[in-house]
Amino acid sequence: MAEYRTFDMELREGGTILWFNRPESRNVISSEVIEELLSYFTEPANDNQFVILAGRGECFVAGADLKEMVDVTEARALEISQSLHQLLFYIGKYQAPVVAAVHGYAIGGGFELALAADMIFATTDAWFSLPELNYSMIPGGGATQRLTQQLGRADAFYQIFSGTKLSASTCFNRGLVQKVFDANHFIDEVVNDLTSVLGKYGKEASVALKRAIRLAGTDEGYVAESEGFARLLTRRARPLIKDFFEANKKKDK
């Protein structure tokens, strides 16, 4: 198993938690973080049924490492943005579902990292923001694209333009956050929720579902759905359907 400096891996039944482990710097996204996450997410998922991204300390991820930004050239700034885009692309391509477990807050690049996950679970007191315009700049980790896809053009424009904080409940009501949990035993509740669903339906179904949904809006999405449907029906669903009919026959007797 590879060793990483910027996050710790905690193996749980069926999946892995990646803990960002720089609480003294509020788990900011440095070039090293991007490089190590790229290394992780470009490896095969193997037996991983899920990956949870979580932060140690007071927050999930506070954003980009501003210390790296102060003296960069425009060419280097472009490289930083493109490398973050590449990382978030591979999180989307990763075979197992990726869940951002957000407590405290997710700011700027931290919010963008969460948006790139397949789902966001949050504590009731968590909040999110994109404050880049406070520094007369715009987000560089995909927020202009992902937030627009999820909220629509006008709402995304206003949210980024204003930089206002979004509470977990507001994000839940707007479909950005999928589940909200009490802060007590948060990670255990997230793991239990994922294992209860994946244990019921299995990894192959979640992999097929993720692929089809990630390709939604393209011709390839329909192809992925048909292929996944046919493969799962013939390899996994058939005995379950037979059991369903047998159970109904017993009820009718």
Instruction: Tell me the three state secondary structure of residue 181.
Output: strand
Record the pTM: 0.93
178-234 pLDDT, tens digit per residue, is 999 999 999 999 999 999 888 777 789 999 999 999 999 899 999 999 999 999 999
Residues facing residue 154 across a β-bridge: none
Alpha-carbon gap, residue 54 to 51, rounded angstroms: 10
- pLDDT score at 102: 98
18-43 pLDDT, tens digit per residue, is 999 999 999 999 999 999 999 999 99
53-109 pLDDT, tens digit per residue, is 999 999 999 998 888 888 899 999 999 999 999 999 999 999 999 999 999 999 999
Alpha-carbon gap, residue 138 to 132, rounded angstroms: 5
Contact present, 131 and 163 (Cβ < 8 Å): yes
- pLDDT score at 251: 72
Closest CA to 15 of 43, 45, 51: 51
Domains in the chain: boundaries: 7-200, 215-252
Share in percent of the chain as helix, strand, coil (round to 5): 55, 15, 30
Task: Write down the CATH superfamily of domain 7-200.
Answer: 2-enoyl-CoA Hydratase; Chain A, domain 1 (3.90.226.10)
Catalytic residue ranges: 64, 109, 112, 132
Q: Please list, in sequence order, all residues whose beta carbon lies within 8 angstroms of the beta carbon of residue 49, skipping any fewer than 6 positions away.
A: 14, 15, 96, 97, 194, 195, 198, 203, 206
For all residues of the chain together, what is the average pLDDT? 94
Q: Please list, in sequence order, all residues whose beta carbon lies within 8 angstroms of the beta carbon of residue 97, skipping any fewer than 6 positions away.
A: 49, 50, 51, 118, 119, 194, 198, 206, 210
CB atoms within 10 A of CB 30: 17
Residues facing residue 123 across a β-bridge: 181
